[in-house]
Structure 1
Amino acid sequence: MRDSFYRFLMTQRKPTDADEVEQFANNAFLDSSFPKQSTDFDEISKYLEENAEYLPSMTIFDTAWQRYLDAMN
């Protein structure tokens, strides 16, 4: 069983000089409604599109998702 996307994303956090994915991770950490147990691309994508004002572009999510898939394989 693979880790949830959120659990992976938390490994990408960086307090200073963060790139876009790291900043996404920092902001997701502060989002108490983030679907923390999900491994489903569509569920997370829909949530972000509807709720994540802190994510300036879904391309950042796509990049983070690819890193997640690479790490899980």
Structure 2
Amino acid sequence: MRKSFYQFLMTQRNPESHDEVAQFAANAFFDQGFPKLDQNYDSLSKYLEENAGYLPSMTIFDEAFQRYQEQASEL
């Protein structure tokens, strides 16, 4: 079974990193409303656009989602 995007994103957390995806992951960890089981780009994007003031640019989400897809294709 494929991981949800949130499960993948939590593997990117690293408080020591200055990587934008790592910072996104750290902030998403504290977002109580984050759709934790979702795998769909469009619904995740909509949620983030409407609710994620901690995400300075949607290009960070795009990069994270690209990594998510690449990891899924490797399995």
- Provide TM-score, normalisation by structure 1: 0.97
Residue 15 (structure 1) shift:
1.1
> How far apart are residue 31 of structure 1 and its match?
0.3
Question: Cα distance, 1:17 vs. partner?
Answer: 2.7
Moved >3 Å (runs of 4+)? none
Amino acid in the other structure paired with 1:20: E
Amino acid at match of 1:44: L
Work out the number of aligned pairs and report it: 73
State the distance in 2 between where 1:71 and 1:29 align. 20
Give me the identity figure in percent.
Answer: 64
| Distance in 1, Cα, partners of 2:17 & 2:43 | 29
Give the AA of the match of 2:28: A
Unaligned runs of 5+ in 1: none
Q: How far apart are 1:2 and its partner, in Å?
A: 0.8
What corresponds to 2:43 in structure 1?
Answer: 43
Q: Which residue is 2:13 aligned to?
A: 13
RMSD of Structure 2 on Structure 1 (CA):
0.6
Q: Counterpart in 2 of 1:23? A: 23
CA-to-aligned-CA distance 1:18-41 (integer Å, 9 cap, x gap): 310000000000001000000011
Stretches of structure 2 that go unaligned for 5 or more consecutive residues are: none
**Residue 18 of structure 2 aligns to a residue in which SS?**
coil
Q: Deviations over 1:34-72 (max 9, x none)?
A: 000000111100000000000000000000000000000
1:64 equivalent in structure 2: 64
